Copies of this chain bind each other. A is one copy, B any other.
């Protein structure tokens, strides 16, 4: 670690705690870059972790995720909450430069000092979203955010993955998109804590809500389990947003009272710790100066000198001297 780095981290963390947007942005860039300084950053941030409520917002393209996020953030601001927004696109490379674009996109909140908005991608990253997202959340948490919104920009598998990173998952649908097979296929019946049929001024909204409710009712739930409500919104006009915010608050309260919050966060921390450990190992195995160089082992597998299991054993045996 450079002398400059050693001094920079405590200063950055102190400024982030005071809510300095430039310091928050810099710390999240360190997460994006998988900087070696992160170890020190996380050690300094640690004791703060866990105050902010993490809200995941997901749904197929075209349901109005950005508009809904914007409307929900406006409502949270009216309630006096500080909000962080991470727009997560697992298919795009990291890009801190997307900040300006985000501020334009989230036009209503671009000049609001109590809203942090940031894009995060993960393609090609060693540890993936399970690695980077909790660390970015920890930064926003320390900066005093009451809520951190994770908005999925991607499609498909990423929706399910983002749900695993949130305390509360809001699934958005639009009229006509809620038919049974489609919903079941996307796995959205398992991941949602709260559902909203957005664009509810369009034809078919009532039917989509009814079908979704039927499907959710059929899913077996334990006694005392949370029963996901299904709301209707028109995010572009703000219709139904207050009711949606109330349901999200009700779920947050239930999470705390039922003990489910601690359980979900433990699962998340487990994946994060595992991702950090695996990334460290892979990084080490890729180094030519390591005892059991992975490239040399691979060559011996190709020539038939060792089988892949024996090679893996050698690699792991070398891990004994890790650290």
Contact = CB atoms under 8 A, between A and B. Distances in A.
A99 interface: no
A126 to B, nearest CB: 12
Contacts of A306: 46
Contacts of A320: 319-322
Contact of A46 (B262, B276, B304): B304
A97 interface: no
A294 interface: yes
A141 to B, nearest CB: 11
Contact of A311 (B273, B297, B310, B322): B273
Q: Is the interface of A mostly helix, strand, loop or mixed?
A: helix
Nearest to A311: B273
A176 interface: no
Nearest to A46: B307
B278 A278 contact: yes
A316 interface: yes
A266 B294 contact: no
Nearest to A48: B304
Given A276-B309, A322-B320, A50 B304 contact: yes
A274 B302 contact: no
B280 A316 contact: yes
Nearest to A272: B308
Nearest to A299: B266
Given A276-B309, A281-B278, A312-B280, A301 B269 contact: yes
B39 A298 contact: no
A18 interface: no
Contacts of A322: 316-317, 319-320
A247 B268 CA distance: 50
Give the one of A285, A301, A311, A320 with max B CB within 10 A: A301
B42 A302 contact: no
Contact of A269 (B42, B49, B308): B308
Interface residues of A, number: 54
A265 B49 CA distance: 45
A19 interface: no
Contacts of A321: 320
A135 interface: yes
Interface in A53-87: none
Contacts of A302: 49-50, 262, 265-266, 269
Interface string A287-304: 000000011011101101
Contacts of A272: 301, 308
Given A42-B308, A50-B302, A267-B298, 8 more contacts: A43-B310, A50-B304, A266-B299, A269-B311, A273-B312, A277-B281, A316-B323, A320-B322
Which A-B residue pairs are the 5 nearest by beta carbons? A270-B298, A46-B307, A269-B301, A269-B298, A276-B312
Interface of A: 38-39, 42-43, 45-50, 134-135, 156, 262, 265-270, 272-274, 276-278, 280-282, 285, 294-295, 297-299, 301-302, 304, 306-313, 315-317, 319-323
